[in-house]
């Protein structure tokens, strides 16, 4: 069973089984809604612990497909789905029986706690363990684990943090990724910075490796790249007005995935509207270019803060 005692010291707060329904947090049967007095909001489904809305600065900051399934029937297209324990599909690996991107985004999580220290932020924690998985998923990946997923809303940022613990008697390894769909006014007029000189795997080109040569990565066609061992902060800028839209800061997450399906969006059944790709750009912080090993009793933590 996932428990608060599995968190490292800086995250430890007393475990509670019931949540006090403060005025800034609303708990519904399938989701949690967070509110700040200054007007910022976030909405997280229990299904997948998927963040489906983040409103700050008077605007929606996440792209959510108008065809996204929010009833638990399939992974959510948009928002911030959580990838664990495998990125994509694997072969000749213990995760190779799992569906693409693993089971975290398609499992129902438990609410562990909300803790508000001031009017400046609100936090909610979700837990996932073997007892939350289906019988079939346990057969596909039989390891014992505990996950704590923390979402923190502030006036200017959305912070997400994942704690992974090996609670079994044998080692295993995993990938993790925060699959963030950022909303942008016009994808052809934005650029991603902070990637120059970084090696990437170009999935559009069959996984070919290359090195980013541009100070500003712009989008004019389908892009699906895994940037490996990105050294610093990544930003999304509006190059038309010279303004930073988002700053992406990572903790213990070496890799950054940049994805936009372009007109291929028309072939994705749950992507809508068909031209919605013009207003979204996935900038995804993760640990996916290599496997993260987990010895018995060990834990790993990684997180990302997206600021406006």
Q: Is 225 annotated in some ligand binding site?
A: no
Catalytic residue among 40, 167, 212, 284: 284
Instruction: Give me the pLDDT at residue 6, please.
Output: 41
Half-sphere exposure of 32 (CA within 13 A, CB side): 30
Instruction: Give me the pLDDT at residue 23, please.
Output: 36
Q: Is 61 annotated in some ligand binding site?
A: no
Instruction: Give me the pLDDT at residue 25, please.
Output: 74
- Whether 75 and 81 have beta carbons less than 8 Å apart is answered as yes
Instruction: Give me the pLDDT at residue 2, please.
Output: 54
pTM score above 0.75: yes
CATH no., domain 26-307: 2.70.98.10
Where do we find the tokens 């997206």?
Answer: 306
Q: Domain locations in the chain?
A: 26-307
Q: Is 31 annotated in some ligand binding site?
A: no
Residues of the chain with pLDDT under 50: 4-23
Residues 6 or more apart in contact with residue 153 via CB below 8 angstroms: 34, 36, 40, 41, 42, 54, 121, 122, 123, 159
Catalytic residue among 179, 212, 237, 301: 179
Which tens digit of pLDDT belongs to each residue from 173-208? 999 999 999 999 999 999 999 999 999 999 999 999
Nearest partner of 245 among 63, 122, 33, judged by Cα: 63
Is 179 an active-site residue?
A: yes
Is 5 an active-site residue?
A: no
The two tokens of residue 308 are: 């406006």
């Amino acid at each position: 069973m996932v428990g608060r005692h599995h968190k490292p010291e800086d995250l430890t707060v007393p475990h509670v089984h019931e949540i006090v329904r403060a005025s800034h947090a609303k708990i519904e049967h399938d989701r949690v809604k967070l509110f700040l007095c200054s007007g910022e909001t976030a909405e997280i489904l229990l299904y997948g612990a998927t963040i489906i809305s983040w409103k700050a600065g008077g605007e929606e900051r996440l792209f959510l497909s108008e065809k996204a399934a929010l009833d638990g029937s399939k992974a959510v297209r948009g928002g911030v789905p959580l990838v664990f324990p495998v990125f994509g599909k694997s072969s000749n690996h213990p995760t190779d029986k799992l569906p693409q991107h693993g089971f975290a985004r398609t499992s129902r999580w438990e609410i562990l706690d909300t803790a508000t220290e001031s009017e400046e932020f609100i936090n909610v924690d979700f837990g996932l363990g073997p007892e939350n998985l289906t019988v079939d998923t346990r057969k596909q990946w039989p390891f014992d684990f505990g996950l704590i997923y923390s979402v923190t809303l502030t006036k200017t940022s959305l912070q997400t943090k994942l704690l992974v613990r090996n609670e079994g008697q044998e080692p295993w390894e995993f990938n993790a990724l925060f699959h963030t769909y950022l909303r942008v006014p016009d994808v052809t007029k934005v650029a991603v910075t902070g990637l120059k000189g970084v090696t990437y795997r170009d999935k559009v080109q069959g996984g070919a490796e290359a090195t980013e040569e541009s100070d500003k990565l712009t989008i004019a066609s389908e892009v699906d790249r895994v940037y490996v061992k990105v050294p610093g902060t990544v930003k999304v800028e509006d190059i038309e007005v010279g303004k930073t839209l988002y700053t992406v800061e990572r903790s213990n997450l070496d890799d950054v995935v940049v994805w936009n399906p372009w007109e291929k969006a028309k072939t994705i059944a749950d992507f809508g509207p068909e031209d919605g790709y013009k207003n979204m750009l996935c900038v995804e912080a993760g640990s996916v270019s290599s496997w993260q090993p987990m010895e018995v009793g060990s834990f790993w933590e990684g997180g990302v803060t997206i600021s406006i």
